[in-house]
Amino acid sequence: MAKTATRPALVRSVPKSPTGIQGLDEITGGGLPRGRPTLVCGGPGCGKTILGMEFLINGAREFGEPGVFLSFEESIEDLTVNFTSLGLDPRPLAARKKLALDYVRIEPNEIQETGSYDLDGLFIRLEHAIDSIGAKRVVLDTIETLFSGLSDTRVLRAELRRLFNWLRAKGVTAIVTGERGESGMTRHGLEEYITDCVILLDHRVVEQNATRRLRVVKYRGSTHGANESPFFIDESGLSVLPIASLGLQHKVSPGRLSTGVPDLDEMLGKKGYFRGSSVLISGSAGTGKTSLAGYFAEAACRRRESALYFAFEESAAQIVRNLRSIGLDLEPCLRKGLLQIHAARPTNSGLEGHLSAMHRLIEEKKPRVVVVDPISNLISVGTSLEVKAMLARLIDFMKVKEMTALFTSLTIDDGHPEGTDIGISSFMDTWLVLRNIEVNGERTRSLDVVKSRGMAHSNQVREFLLTNKGVQLLDVVRHEGHVLIGSARAAHGEPR
Amino acid sequence: MSAKSVRRSPKTRRTKQAADFFDLRLYVAGQTARSLTAIANLQRICEQHLEGRYRIEVIDLLERPQLARGDQILALPTLVRKLPEPIRRLVGDLSDTERALVGLDLRPRSSVKS
């Protein structure tokens, strides 16, 4: 005790129980308040139950803390089926006494009130479950169901207050879920009783696309991220994407990879991209983004490395056909199975769906090289906040796995690619900008390296040619203070 | 289980009696004033309305907490009517006799039931 007293007060925070849920522990600075109840509220289908169950399963599996799940809504059978479908089978843990499930069934039609009562039955039941497995964690889901079965709200309120105090005295870390109310955070004002930590979940539809958000409304005795964070639910459970706290602990590789275009390798310190880096190629329509992506993928296959290509604009067949017109044949790569193209319309599923599908495929195929073409099309699925968070998470994930990722981005305005690149360029190690330049009644393409971290790169704008023999980058010719491109260059006697 | 059947009427009359035999289980927690009130109220109601065709089992959950789960006990005291079926749950100390009788189907709720 004497030792802890010497520590500065600022550093001390309430003790915490990690949830083991990706991202949530980051936002809360280590988990939920240990030995105290946390209120998790939100509308129907917002993921409260899953959050609770994952808290218990992770507790039992990873942190050696058995847990009790007391359900007021779903039977044990239904819960088991639902969780098994998320890859969280509770049965083996229950068999090993790491987890106890109990279903408190409330049938309003079966209950007749005949005089004074209290909720000692619930207390006894919960205590029995806690003591039988030595539980350290408890989830009550959704305790407000009591109000539908018992009519004396005065008694219920007093008993709920007693229950939460009892949970604190018992020293268990609890999640109490509550349905979002019209006026308050929960229908019956549970937030009045649970003030230690309150987490709000939200499942909303923005432009026909379902998105999930999580926010820590309150955390007594601890700092916490106050922003809304997108989260998603897939086969492996729940993940929160904290936007602000992108982990930067991955190792960096000094290895280099060819861009597939010798002239471009030359511009990037003569060697190409860094392995495990992320590359952004932005430009307006028809500037050659997909061509560069295609060369990059093909170069990977030539090194006998696997490449995964996410196409959000064109079908696989279209990409193959179009690239053939500039002398690039992806067919052999596809045949050997080194290259896999996954084409999907961005609107086919929600943002969550794309995120989880991409994660899953990357996990499964373990490619060395990943192409997302174009990332900007995902804007049509979510607001830029989500796209940004999604990218941050994806980039982080790929960096850890030392995968090199190339993203293309369609910019609307040729003049200001920065404005339309949804602020993602800061996540990128290398950023190439392609432009259409209209001079003298003709259109030519240019390429320049805006940045490339950790290498001496060219700072020249180059003329970018797509010929039937591939990509060529030409030095820009200056003549009498003018940049000569296109046919003006030819007229000046420069080769093209 | 055998003890229960011994206390019932002989087999010949059993089917006839089973229909209106009340098997009641009263759940309480400890010997509190409320528990004792509930027990006394239940005995009074049974003597007045169910003479000779009831059985009361009082379960103290402080002694046998594992039994709370099986009968879905939440509030205490709770009276569970195991027989006749369907199962009924009466919550409270049974001070409101009219409501208790309705809960036990001894007074009509809306329609008459045999």
Rounded Cα distance between A337 and A316, Å, is 14
Phi-psi region of A185 (alpha: psi -120 to 50; beta: other; left: phi over 0): alpha
Q: Do A127 and B41 touch (CB under 8 A)?
A: no
Instruction: Tell how strand A256-257 and strand A273-274 pair up.
Output: antiparallel
pLDDT in the model for residue A481: 66
CATH topology of domain A256-491: Rossmann fold (3.40.50)
Rounded Cα distance between A428 and A372, Å, is 13
Question: Which tokens hold the place of A283?
Answer: 């430009």
pLDDT in the model for residue A363: 79
CB A117 within 8 A of CB B75: yes
Q: What ipTM was reported for this prediction?
A: 0.82
Rounded Cα distance between B65 and A317, Å, is 66
CA nearest to A121 within chain B = B74
CA nearest to B86 within chain A = A110
Tens-digit pLDDT string for chain A (496 aa): 444 444 444 446 789 999 998 789 988 989 999 999 999 999 888 889 999 999 999 999 999 999 999 999 899 999 899 888 877 788 999 999 999 999 999 887 778 899 999 999 999 999 999 999 999 999 999 888 888 888 889 999 999 999 999 999 999 999 999 988 877 788 888 888 888 999 999 987 765 666 788 999 999 888 877 778 778 787 777 878 765 444 555 667 778 999 999 999 999 988 999 998 999 998 888 889 999 999 999 999 999 999 999 998 889 999 999 999 988 999 999 999 999 999 987 765 666 667 767 877 887 889 999 999 888 777 655 555 666 666 777 787 788 788 999 999 888 755 555 555 556 777 788 999 998 887 777 888 889 898 888 888 888 888 888 888 788 888 777 677 666 767 777 777 655 5
CB B64 within 8 A of CB B5: no
Q: Do B68 and A150 touch (CB under 8 A)?
A: no
**Helices and strands in chain A: count of H runs, count of E runs:** 16, 25
Interface test with B, best of A69, A75, A104, A120 (most B CBs within 10 A): A120
Q: Where do we find the tokens 């917002």? A: A46
CB A380 within 8 A of CB A347: yes
Q: Do A114 and B91 touch (CB under 8 A)?
A: yes
Rounded Cα distance between A38 and A25, Å, is 14
Shortest Cα–Cα distance, A118 to chain B (Å): 5
Q: Do A114 and B29 touch (CB under 8 A)?
A: no
Q: Do B102 and A117 touch (CB under 8 A)?
A: no
pLDDT in the model for residue A381: 55
Instruction: Tell how strand B88-91 and strand A111-113 pair up.
Output: parallel
Q: Do B75 and A119 touch (CB under 8 A)?
A: yes
CB B89 within 8 A of CB A111: yes
Q: Is the pLDDT assigned to residue B86 strictly greater than 60?
A: yes
Instruction: Tell how strand A442-452 and strand A462-467 pair up.
Output: antiparallel
- Domains of chain A by residue range: 2-240, 256-491
Give the amino acid at A186.
T
Q: Do domains A2-240 and A256-491 have the same CATH topology?
A: yes
Question: Which tokens hold the place of A149?
Answer: 């079965």
Interface test with A, best of B41, B74, B97 (most A CBs within 10 A): B74
Q: How confident is the model at residue B26 (pLDDT cuts 50, 70, 90)?
A: very high
Rounded Cα distance between A473 and A496, Å, is 10
For residue B74, list chain A residues with Cβ-Cβ distance below 8 A: 104, 106, 119, 121-122, 125, 146, 149-150
Rounded Cα distance between A260 and A292, Å, is 8
CA nearest to B96 within chain A = A114
Q: Is the pLDDT assigned to residue B73 strictly greater than 90?
A: yes
Rounded Cα distance between A26 and A242, Å, is 7
A57: enclosing H helix or E strand: helix A48-62
Lowest-confidence region among A123-127, A231-235, B98-102, B108-112: B108-112
Domain architecture of chain B: domains with CATH: 21-103 (3.40.30.10)
Q: Do B96 and A102 touch (CB under 8 A)?
A: no
Q: What is the DSSP letter of A378?
A: G
Task: For the domain covering A2-240, report its CATH number.
Answer: 3.40.50.300
Of residues B64 and B114, the one with the higher pLDDT is B64
In this complex, which of B61, B93, B99 lies closest to A116 when CB atoms are compared? B93
